[in-house]
Structure 1
Amino acid sequence: MSRASLGNAGEAETARYLRKKGCTLLASQWRCRFGELDLVARDKRGTICFVEVKLRGTGAIGLPREFVDQRKQERLRKAAACYMSTHEIDAPARFDVAEVYTDEDHRIVRLEYLEDAFA
């Protein structure tokens, strides 16, 4: 399975998780000049959730959330501001991280969802 296919599977699993929690998916793999937003959703309270999906396989070193460093966070903030402006959205927003874990056969075995992972 290619890296892109694995990433898409992780994003699809996260989208299913969000829908089960009552969220409405607004965008997937949304791009602008500042970068890409993996998923954008609106939760039941109307908060816009910018979700960074991080996939890790068996034997990977470090937690997926550790790879959303300061530089990545800044790119996500800029992309989120661009999304909000482009879509004329005036609502509270937050940044979440979805950690998707796979086994040695690249099957998704667990999803850890971190709300409000960074400000």
Structure 2
Amino acid sequence: MSGGNTKLLGRWGESLVAEDLRRKGQRLLAAGYQCRFGEIDLITADEQYIIFTEVKLRRDDRFAPGRAFVDARKQARLRTTAELYLAQFPTGLQPRFDVAEVYAPRGMETEHPRILYFENAF
């Protein structure tokens, strides 16, 4: 799959998760926030937390679950990126790091993608 298609598929997965989080009462603050340290897929907030969510889209979990790809190095980049975001946009809310796995066996043609969500993933 080409890089453009992969990026499009990733954004599609992120939009599914963003909509799911909105239904659960979270406010979307940013999607695809980028800085020199890295990128955070989704930044949302509820009454208590500012939530930094890493979204992993996979066709299946035969090799490994999506959250397995959020290793210590990726976690460190996410924390550093989140620190910069909070310096630019202070909220006074407690930060939390979550991981969302989206399973879509047929890519964007999947009728009912499955979303697994892990709060306080790291």
Contact 2:50-2:96 at 8 Å conserved across structures:
yes
Mapped partners of 1:14, 1:59: distance in 2: 18
Q: Structure 1 vs Structure 2: percent identity of aligned residues? A: 45
More helix by share: 2
1:36 aligns with one of 17, 26, 39: 39
SS of alignment partner, residue 117 of structure 1: coil
Pair 1:51-2:60 in alignment: no
TM (normalized to structure 2)?
0.89
Following the alignment from structure 1 to structure 2, what is the Cα–Cα distance between the partners of residues 112 and 20?
A: 15
Superposed, 1:18-97 pairs within 5 Å as: 18-43=21-46, 45-58=47-60, 60-97=62-99
Q: CA RMSD in A?
A: 1.5
- Cα distance in 1 between the residues matched to 2:102 and 2:61: 14
Deviation, structure 1 residue 35: 0.4
1: CA distance between counterparts of 2:52 and 2:74? 13
Kindly state the Cα deviation for residue 60 of structure 1 after the two structures are TM-superposed: 4.9
Gaps of 5+ in 2: none
Which residue number corresponds to residue 110 of structure 1? Answer: 114
Q: What are the ranges of 5 or more consecutive residues in structure 1 without an aligned counterpart? A: none
Q: What amino acid does structure 2 have at the position aligned with 1:39?
A: L
Structure 1 match to 2:20:
17
TM-score (norm 1): 0.92
The answer to whether the 8 Å contact 1:58/1:104 transfers is: no
Q: Which has the higher strand share?
A: 1
Query: Which SS does the other structure have where 1:103 is aligned?
Result: coil
Tell me, in whole angstroms, the C-alpha distance in 2 between the residues paired with 1:60 and 1:6.
19
What is the SS of the residue equivalent to 2:93?
coil
Cα distance change on mapping 1:113 and 1:41 into 2, 3 Å = same
